[in-house]
Structure 1
């Protein structure tokens, strides 16, 4: 923790949470906003459904790859330079997407978007732990998740309206505007939270040794899986939204927002409850509650899709409840990851995000095309992904000392 943290931010804590949430929301915002325009983009550039899926995969793999380095760079150079550079590149990449004339150009600029968008997500987590002790950090992490939920809820509505009233190019011009606005706010307000005495040398040998040390720790990998893979139980439905919402549930692109509103409401409610429990309930019990909710609703979702034809009146609700369970436990697991490497929190955040983003890319590129043809297959896929995270947590909770679990 920065010894001068109290002097770095004198405004209310929720204002810093809102500032950091803007960074965290940028990554999913770049996905949710353009999903309603899928069909229009495909028709405009002559792309097949598989090629359109590649625009998602390219973004996610770019996000996963560069997420491995954002945190380590911020450990050496400071948090602010990495965040601001990422925002500059994201804004330029969004403009490039808007100007793209072919599917190849769009995939290239989407990759650049992914490479830059992760900077804010990764570094914002390290900033929280730089600034606050554990119990306070959990409250701020929960507030960030709460504010983070607002933007993705609005994103598909904005994207659907822009596509419906203008065209798909307007969606990416809008993202460029969001990037520019965040750059202006963070350039003016974001403090440098990494104390000069805590910076790590940016030399290849120590850097590789740090990565090797973390990757060799099975507790780290298990915690990263426990936080990142269950997210894909929800993310699978986001990636399959054009098929699931449009074909199976019969919704128009401008109606996709109902799913996103319910989903993000679940995330915000879970994050709010997580913040309320900080310092009152042992973290291990809080994580257990989150997994119980996800397991129960996943089994119910499979049973409902087997028993009844999927309908918009009920099919979206189980995913929202799943999101609630995930948001309840993920702030606690994230802080456990960061505290495994107190001198390399940026690197730990990078690797955690890299594991999660890699699984996101695999879900978007491999799993989603296999299961999006059937609502039953989607429900089973979501259950399976959550199960991987649950097994990882059940293993790691036996390996962590009692002090770490508290």
Structure 2
């Protein structure tokens, strides 16, 4: 077992054991905030007098704000430390959630969602860098996989929790729950989470330095290849997440409490893949697990298209078999490709994670706003769009492998 770095703070074994849980709960804020309001859309539409198409802006506004601010959370944590960014963003997120609960119109709700998105990245993005700050080798890989497990569970449980909340209260209850969750996580983080980025490792807190760090990341070709591989393959899965209300309700004819029929098998498969990634981390390299994962995702994309061409494509559980295989492959690959990206520039880990997250979020926001409604005309439309995304992502990873082999001297 690889010990923590010498320059990292000394941690008690009990604290070390709890770090993955705390970080995973922090990282789940982002995806949790996307999916939790879905079951409340019908009630929100009636109360705010808007259509389901207009309510898609609740997702898009949040994600675009998340993407915009994600460029700065990581570099900011490189300059002032991880804890201040995490705790400050949770406080702002809680206040924004309260504002959403009091929103009298869609316009004001979107303002609150934008504020939520601006704050959510502080915990979701920066929490990933803490593991790589503190640990090396297989231990870091296993912890990243453990975080990915709970991170993956968030989209599955979010609509379930949202559905239960609107059974006991109005749609505003969903946002009150988000506010309470953020405050609880702030308390837990303040008590349990060490500062993993000591002053001697920090960069100057200057606007120019923040942009210089991002520019340094963007000059690395491997960053672009790996970021787009991860973004495109995960984008196939997010197509179903962002378009869940269309896929589950409009195409499959299910109700507001039935989102679990999509999310449980899909996210469950991703969790199993993440567990497998952690288990096989000592046997296989990260690159080998990524290659295997994306091969499985490609197989799942093909299965999804084939099933969608048959009558079974509009019937559960067959309608989600293909995307569940895609999710399993993502679970194998995603923790490992993030580890490789974080090692590209050890002094700029926050900037690396911010830039990567920005690309992923912008792509997913466009997917939710444009691709999902367009593909939403049929189950086959979803399957074909997802397959195209997976194949492009798999191609980016193969490109990276070839480029890496050519870069190694003979």
Q: Is contact 2:97-2:176 (8 Å) kept?
A: yes
Q: Does 2:163 correspond to 1:160?
A: yes
Q: In structure 2, which of residues 235, 251, 255 is the aligned counterpart of residue 252 of structure 1?
A: 255
Q: Is contact 1:62-1:112 (8 Å) kept?
A: yes
Q: Does 2:408 correspond to 1:395?
A: no
Q: Is contact 2:63-2:117 (8 Å) kept?
A: yes
Question: Aligned equivalents of 2:327 and 2:271: distance in 1?
Answer: 9
Aligned to 1:84: 87
1:7-60 CA-to-partner distances (Å, cap 9, x unmatched) read: 135326441100000111111111111111111111110112232111111000
Q: In structure 1, which of residues 75, 78, 99 is the aligned counterpart of residue 102 of structure 2?
A: 99
Following superposition, the deviation at residue 401 of structure 1 comes to 5.5
Aligned to 2:177: 174
Q: Is contact 1:263-1:319 (8 Å) kept?
A: yes
Q: In structure 1, which of residues 338, 347, 353 is the aligned counterpart of residue 351 of structure 2?
A: 347
For the structure 1 residues 185 and 321, does the alpha-carbon distance in structure 2 shift closer, same or farther, using more than 3 Å as the test? same
Q: Is contact 1:267-1:326 (8 Å) kept?
A: yes
For the structure 1 residues 153 and 14, does the alpha-carbon distance in structure 2 shift closer, same or farther, using more than 3 Å as the test? farther
Deviates more, 1:68-77 or 1:252-261: 252-261
Written as runs of structure 1 = structure 2, the 5 A alignment for 1:198-237 is 198-237=201-240
Aligned to 1:8: 11
TM-score of the aligned structures, taking structure 2 as reference length? 0.95
Q: Does 2:325 correspond to 1:313?
A: no
| Uncovered stretches (5+) of structure 2, i.e. residues with no partner | none
Written as runs of structure 1 = structure 2, the 5 A alignment for 1:256-405 is 256-308=259-311, 309-400=313-404
TM-score of the aligned structures, taking structure 1 as reference length? 0.96
Q: Is contact 1:2-1:195 (8 Å) kept?
A: no
Question: Aligned equivalents of 1:14 and 1:272: distance in 2?
Answer: 16
Question: Equivalent residue of 1:56, what SS?
Answer: helix
Question: Aligned equivalents of 2:12 and 2:406: distance in 1?
Answer: 33
Q: Is contact 2:5-2:136 (8 Å) kept?
A: no
Q: Does 2:190 correspond to 1:187?
A: yes
Q: In structure 2, which of residues 52, 64, 67 is the aligned counterpart of residue 64 of structure 1?
A: 67
1:307-326 CA-to-partner distances (Å, cap 9, x unmatched) read: 22511231123222211110
Question: Aligned equivalents of 2:55 and 2:127: distance in 1?
Answer: 30
Q: In structure 2, which of residues 118, 128, 150 is the aligned counterpart of residue 125 of structure 1?
A: 128
Question: Aligned equivalents of 1:95 and 1:30: distance in 2?
Answer: 13
1:130-150 CA-to-partner distances (Å, cap 9, x unmatched) read: 000132111100011112233
Following superposition, the deviation at residue 403 of structure 1 comes to 10
Question: Equivalent residue of 1:344, what SS?
Answer: helix
